[in-house]
Amino acid sequence: MEIESTNPTRHPKTHPRAVTRRRALQIAGLGTLGAVAACTNTTGMTNGPQHVTRGNFKLPDTKLPDRSIKFRLTDSGDQKAVFWKSFAKAYEKKHDNVQISYKALDWPDLDQSITLGLRNGSVPDVFFLPTTVTNGQAVSEKWIGAWDDIIPNWAEVKKRFPDGTFVVGKTDFNGKTYAFPLTSAQRFNSLVFYNKQITDRADADLSQPLGWDEYRQLLKKITKQGDGKYYGTIMGLQQDGAGFSSVMAQMGGIGGGIGGIDWRTGEYNYTKPLSLEAVEYLLAIYADGSIAPGSVSYKEADAKGRFPQGQAGFLIQGPWNISPWRDQNADFTFDFTIPPQRDPKDIYPVGYAPGGSNQYVYNPHTKAPKMVADIISYMCTKAGQAQWASIDGAADPAAFPEAIEEADLSSLDAKAMKINSKYEVLAPEPSVRNPDVEKVYEVQKPLEPDFGDVCLGLLTGQVKGGVKKALNDLQDRANKALDEAIATAKKRGADVSRDDWVFKDWDPKKPYDSTSTK
């Protein structure tokens, strides 16, 4: 088993992940973590009945070719690396002619190395596509193979997955499945983590969701108590200036978030009054001095690396931090809740796109197709998914809900899973209804500056004229970019129109009935 890792950071869309340098080092030294995790209750958080023994893989008795087989797997790492390391050890033990080489790359590195690999035909056997390549593009360029071609009874295997996992235009093309979503996209990525020592000192009651004003006052109080040693909250605004406001607005009723689209009308949400309020709320907290100095120049990895050091009371981040913080910071006691609410009595869920998450694809020229099929087939079983859920926890929720029920989860992982179920709903996705929409995505020019940049610019005073003007400008530019992309895609043969972005029957509080291909 070979394991390599750089410093995985947050993926902009379907894999919002990030780790610190310490985390990367931990990944590199994970030889014993599976066993340690299985027998160690680091903070007294082990939860409920344990149906599955973590790391005890019951692998199928597949007969692989007798020759020596080298298998290469690359993904974005984080907690996934913990799983694959543990799995590789078990697999190599069962098949002594197999050597698994696993590589965890951060997203910028993955974008560059896999892009080059696709061009020169040197991609690993199984890998993640870079963010710069759409699945449809990879299929039409013949860069990836169809799972139907190597996994026996693939049509039957697909039926084990929940609705919305396999969808045309996301995972399936030309009647075949090319992208295998190993995990569920139903993951709440904006948990409000809090340092219990600091919030206890401030007598904060976090048993119920806080209102916007309550949260603001609490941040002020913590900042005052910190007296320069710690602050109300810390943020990685250089990387994600948009996250805070967007999730606030989304849970207040802006379906799709500020930078997203209201599927009922097909219009962007930038200019909605609640979007304006949410951005102004961020500015108000900043003006209060409640955001730790340096946050405007921090990336997410900086903020989440400083948070366990007691530099702030709160940090909005994803559930992938639970295991690293717990395992690496023995003195750090933390918990989490959902973000503050504009109206705690009327909370809207956050939408997630169909097509699952952590989509693995395979190299059609792999020299080990049987082994690729064997591994992915195992991950399509309840046993494989339960092991995934036990090791990966809430970082990347397993695709099978029943596997999560059987998994060996810590109390915090279990809590995060409950939040996933309660506050995440399946949202519409234009490319599912019309696969030609992917061709629009391929040519849609990114907004420059985007919503995150604009928030940062407003905070630092570089964007002049006020929030309303800035959001109006974003709305105009987003519409123009989408319209231009549609026009270009149409010129190049796509059958698309702006109507593809309209779902009149969408209710933001209910899961949208996606077109499933299973």
Contacting positions for another protein (CB under 8 A) = 12-13, 107-108, 111-112, 115-116, 118-119, 131-134, 137, 141, 228, 237-238, 259, 289, 292-299, 306, 311, 353, 429, 431, 437-438, 440-453, 456-457, 460-463, 478, 481-482, 485, 492
**Least Å from the CB of residue 201 to another protein:** 19
**Least Å from the CB of residue 482 to another protein:** 8
One-character DSSP codes across 433-496: H-TTHHHHHHHPPPPSS-HHHHHHHHHHT-S-S-HHHHHHHHHHHHHHHHHHHHHHHHHTT---
CB nearer to another protein: give 111 or 408. 111
**Least Å from the CB of residue 393 to another protein:** 26
CB nearer to another protein: give 451 or 506. 451
Torsion over CA: 465, 454, 336, 182 (sign)? positive
CB nearer to another protein: give 74 or 385. 74
Q: Are strands 176-177 and 261-262 parallel, antiparallel or unpaired?
A: unpaired
Q: How far is CA 460 from CA 33, 304, 447, 471, 492, in A?
A: 42, 21, 19, 16, 41
Tokens 């390599």 sit on residue: 4
CB nearer to another protein: give 135 or 387. 135
**Least Å from the CB of residue 117 to another protein:** 10
Contact assessment for residue 403 and residue 386, using Cβ atoms and an 8 Å cutoff:
yes
Q: CA–CA separation, 286 vs 275, rounded Å?
A: 17
CB nearer to another protein: give 53 or 112. 112
CB nearer to another protein: give 142 or 504. 142
**Least Å from the CB of residue 161 to another protein:** 20
Strand ranges inside 11-125, DSSP E: 69-75, 98-104
One-character DSSP codes across 162-193: PTTSS-BTTTEETTEE--EEEE-S-----EEE
Mapping DSSP to helix (H, G, I), strand (E, B) and coil, where does residue 277 land?
helix
**Least Å from the CB of residue 64 to another protein:** 33
**Least Å from the CB of residue 180 to another protein:** 17
Contact assessment for residue 15 and residue 358, using Cβ atoms and an 8 Å cutoff:
yes
CB nearer to another protein: give 2 or 495. 495
**Least Å from the CB of residue 47 to another protein:** 34
Contact assessment for residue 171 and residue 179, using Cβ atoms and an 8 Å cutoff:
yes
Q: Are strands 126-127 and 69-75 parallel, antiparallel or unpaired?
A: parallel
Q: Which tokens is 436 given? A: 């030609």
CB nearer to another protein: give 298 or 348. 298
Q: CA–CA separation, 392 vs 379, rounded Å?
A: 13
C-beta atoms surrounding 200 within 10 Å: 12
Q: CA–CA separation, 390 vs 407, rounded Å?
A: 5
**Least Å from the CB of residue 340 to another protein:** 23
CB nearer to another protein: give 393 or 435. 435
